[in-house]
Amino acid sequence: MAGLLFARAGVETLVLEKHADFLRDFRGDTVHPSTLELFDQLGLLDELLALPHDRVESISAQIAGQLVEIADFRRLKTVAPFIAMMPQWDLLNFISANAQRYPSFTLRTQAEAVGTITDDTDQVRGVKLADGSRIDADLVIAADGRGSVLRQSAQLPLERLGAPMDVFWLEIPKSGKGTAFGVFENNRILILIDRGTYWQCGFVFAKGEGERIKQRPFAEFQAMLIETAPVLAKGVETLSGWDSANLLSVSLDRLSTWHKPGLLAIGDAAHAMSPIGGVGINLAIQDAVAAANILAAPIANGDDPDPLLHKVQERRWKAVVKTQKLQKLVQDRMIEPMVSGRAAMRKPPLPLRLLNAIPSLRRFPAQIIGLGFARERIEAPDIHDLG
């Protein structure tokens, strides 16, 4: 998204992607109303929503045997009041196809950055690639995710907030219509998202537990799934074995400084988000918009971006910190006690019981999840008229 917006403003932009394509499973498929608003501003919303997707209009959870309604996106005043669930590679291909309409945009795949190039004043001047070549740049945007080699190479200070869980992601075939919901039962947490022909499932365990479970027979894992959500039984029996379950370790961290001369970190590279709320992609996109709003026009005019880099962090900082605080609160108060087996949940917590009882309150979690804090509008200029 940063690549698209910088190129649209007339900045010579090169995006490096280490893989040959964007085809990767379980990278998060949630496109939230805040992101849909941005595509609307770009005049691309109808085209985006013409791609296959599922719409999540509300979120509910089964907690200690009780079904509670938690968030209702239909109550939001926004152009697309739902979460569009679409494979992340479709979203990235869509963004990249639109970026490639701008002559100053280039995407180079199978191009892995292995570190920054700095001069003797410690100013970043570009990146080194795995094939030994180098690319010079006036500004390097490190958007290389939570394992960012660029933030490491730039020695930006990292604060780890801790994440007590591992998540197995898997696709479980289903028939009939469902909705997005979570199951909190028997010290287990299972997130289920209706993807038409299958449930996209996140099965949550205490950190380190996932690896131990994988040492045991797959049939035991299947039995745990069915015990937690009997509705899955038929689909679970069709799973072939451990190759159908991807184990992902969750991290929650942030850089206390996102920039140094010549380099700016955004997205997970600046702040790895937990999957709670499915907000990570959307926050990364908000960072991209803020970066383009603040930097694209000055760079296009030939100005030095360095004195402006701190403004991107200042613009996004509160939204990131507030969101991570909420994610940590849910982790520490609900998830950790459950997955560690320290406390079984005997009834839904009071705030969730209130949300369930008073429908109008469900607008508030929908607002936080769907629109987030300090959402951006695209202000970076469009110097092209592509029609």
Nearer to ligand FAD, 112 or 382 (CB): 112
Point out which residues bind ligand FAD (CB under 6 A): 16-19, 27-30, 112-113, 143-145, 149, 167, 248, 250, 267-269, 273, 275, 278-282, 284
Would you tell me how many other CB atoms lie within 10 Å of the CB of residue 244?
A: 16
* CA–CA gap between residue 165 and residue 158 (Å, rounded): 20
Question: In this structure, are residues 246 and 169 in contact, taking their beta carbons and an 8 Å threshold?
Answer: yes
Nearer to ligand FAD, 17 or 138 (CB): 17
CB of 304 to ligand FAD, least distance (A): 25
Q: Find the residue with minimal CB distance to ligand FAD.
A: 280
Q: How far separated are the first and last CA of the chain, in Å rounded?
A: 19
CB of 282 to ligand FAD, least distance (A): 5
Rg of the chain over CA atoms, in angstroms? 21
Nearer to ligand FAD, 81 or 280 (CB): 280
Nearer to ligand FAD, 284 or 361 (CB): 284
Nearer to ligand FAD, 139 or 167 (CB): 167
Region for residue 209 given its phi and psi (left: phi exceeds 0; alpha: psi -120 to 50; beta: otherwise): alpha
Tokens of 204: 């949550």
| CA 217 and chain centroid, separation | 31
Please list, in sequence order, all residues whose beta carbon lies within 8 angstroms of the beta carbon of residue 95, skipping any fewer than 6 positions away. 1, 3, 4
CB of 252 to ligand FAD, least distance (A): 9
Nearest to 77 by CA among 371, 282, 279, 280: 371
Nearer to ligand FAD, 10 or 182 (CB): 182
CB of 113 to ligand FAD, least distance (A): 4
CB of 387 to ligand FAD, least distance (A): 29
Tokens of 224: 């745990």
Nearest to 67 by CA among 362, 353, 364, 365: 353
Nearer to ligand FAD, 29 or 72 (CB): 29
| CA 326 and chain centroid, separation | 15
| CA 143 and chain centroid, separation | 12
Nearer to ligand FAD, 61 or 250 (CB): 250
* CA–CA gap between residue 27 and residue 380 (Å, rounded): 28
* CA–CA gap between residue 3 and residue 39 (Å, rounded): 15
Tokens of 314: 């200042």
Beta bridge partners of 253: 160
Question: In this structure, are residues 19 and 109 in contact, taking their beta carbons and an 8 Å threshold?
Answer: yes
What is the three-class DSSP state of 205? strand
Nearer to ligand FAD, 273 or 378 (CB): 273
Nearer to ligand FAD, 56 or 309 (CB): 56
What is the three-class DSSP state of 15? strand
| CA 190 and chain centroid, separation | 19
